[in-house]
Structure 1
């Protein structure tokens, strides 16, 4: 039997690792992940062929969510895992068979480095970025389970205020699929704030074909979970990120006794 050919590595010396782990000794039951936190591009891929400034748009990353996640990690003493690379390199919240795992265009912008990508090049992005990031989440969840520690999983995202010319009125949205326990509790708590328009499976919803983190890490383990989306204009600067982190930390503390 002929051996499978080796896939050349993508990341080089000096490239950042595919994830950042915050607060690895935190005592909180909350565990936060951010699949689109970063906008790094491996040096071997240059600028992906993008026009200047495009990587800074919402197509390149979830604007503001890393800042919210960092503050939540500190506020709640919670383990938090941030994905480092741009979603235009590989989208770490897509199933491996998804046609949008590595996009050739996003919101009207072509990504030349992704066009007609050879199978080995696709595999290198999966092996060097996607798989290590999710392996670290699995490791964290396994460790917590082995130590008998409860886990409330929140995957953090942000969304652009308008898409395809349509304004999005929600300040935030809670997303879920088969298990709505935590999502509905958080939805009700956010609505009770009185100053928020809260999306219920808006502006997106979770499915096995469009998402990876919730079906695999949340539903697959039977953990209470929610995907939380925050509108990007509300967390584009440090003040907005801090305000949302304080609000969410207060709500998460109030919800915690219901699930632990």
Structure 2
């Protein structure tokens, strides 16, 4: 699937970061392997929200520096394979995404699907798992922070939220604290499990946080707010202050 000149499935930014926050970008990249010939799509389609989470690669990079955190980001487009889906799910390799037909994903054989899982999905999650194992061995606490962005309008319906927090009741004190910190800012319209709810569709947080009992938060930011350098600077500064504030708020009260 990948030739020797193509990047690995994931990029690890600031691998020696000392922060307890481990930043994840499941949809941060939009590269398509040469063998897939852009999936039959033009650059305009691959650059849309269907191809990646706009702004997250740059935002994660900024946060990794500001927080001294490790940031693990997916390099390949979610249209090649969505690493926040169970690899066996039909929508892990969508034939149609937000009205756009993806020719390179049509009528895939089981072998073709397996090749994408082996080349991209499996190693991406192995890198996350290895980082978590390293941190456990080093006695380094971890809060898993998944960074995502969402399109301002979906199927003709405007989305009013500036940001949202996704959680599912499993060890979600940090997620609920992040929700409270966001809502304390009167300038923000904040979604609680909006514009998406964390459910059986999500894969990364359930796989890596739930079973291990790790504190987590999945943050969604509207893409028009990350469409410029100024917007990324603003959200980087906001999250640099708010993530530690949420961690303090989630900490158990001393007895």
TM-score range for the pair, normalised by the shorter chain length:
over 0.9
Could you tell me which residue of structure 1 aligns to residue 86 of structure 2?
Answer: 95
> Gaps (5+ residues) in structure 2?
none
The equivalent residue for 2:116 is 125
Deviations 1:43-62 (A, max 9, x none): 00011011441000000000
The CA deviation string for residues 176-235 of structure 1, in whole angstroms up to 9 with x for no partner, is: 113221111001100101100000000001112x01111111112100001100000000
2:87–2:121 CA contact under 8 A, matched in 1: no
Match of 1:82 in 2: 73
Deviation string, structure 1 residues 140-178 (Cα, Å, up to 9, x no partner): 001101111110110000000000110000000000113
Match of 1:167 in 2: 158
Shift in Å, 1:242: 1.2
Contact 1:33/1:81 (CA < 8 Å) preserved in 2?
A: yes
Query: Once superposed, what is the RMSD of the aligned Cα atoms?
Result: 1.1
Please name the residue that 2:138 is paired with. 147
Match of 1:137? 128
Aligned: 1:185 with 2:174 = no
Q: 1:44 aligns with which of 35, 38, 41?
A: 35
Residue by residue, what CA displacement relative to the aligned partner does 1:24-58 show, whole Å, maximum 9, x if unpaired? 11110000000000000000001101144100000
The 2-side partners of 1:20 and 1:51 are apart by 25
> Contact conserved, 1:171 with 1:196, CA < 8 A, in 2?
yes
TM-score (normalised: structure 2): 0.96
Structure 2 residue 212 is matched with structure 1 residue 224: no
Is 2:55 the counterpart of 1:69? no
1: CA distance, partners of 2:228 / 2:58: 9
1:200 aligns with 2:192: yes
Q: Distance in 2 between matches of 1:51 and 1:21?
A: 28
Instruction: Give 5+ residue unaligned stretches, structure 1.
Output: 1-9
Which residue number in structure 1 is paired with residue 96 of structure 2? 105
The whole-number CA distance in structure 2 between the counterparts of 1:205 and 1:15 is 34
What CA deviation, in whole Å up to 9, does each residue of 1:78-102 have, x standing for no partner?
0110100000000000012211010
Alpha-carbon separation, structure 1, partners of 2:251 and 2:7: 36
Q: Structure 1 residues 168-177 or 46-55, which shifts more?
A: 46-55
Count of aligned pairs: 250
CA–CA distance in structure 2, aligned partners of residues 252 and 173 of structure 1: 14
Confirm or deny: 8 A CA contact 1:207 1:215 kept in the other structure: no
Counterpart CA distance in 1 for 2:94 and 2:211 is 26
1:178–1:219 CA contact under 8 A, matched in 2: no
CA distance in 2, matches of 1:72, 1:46: 33
What residue in structure 1 maps to residue 206 of structure 2?
Answer: 215
Q: Distance in 2 between matches of 1:183 and 1:167?
A: 25
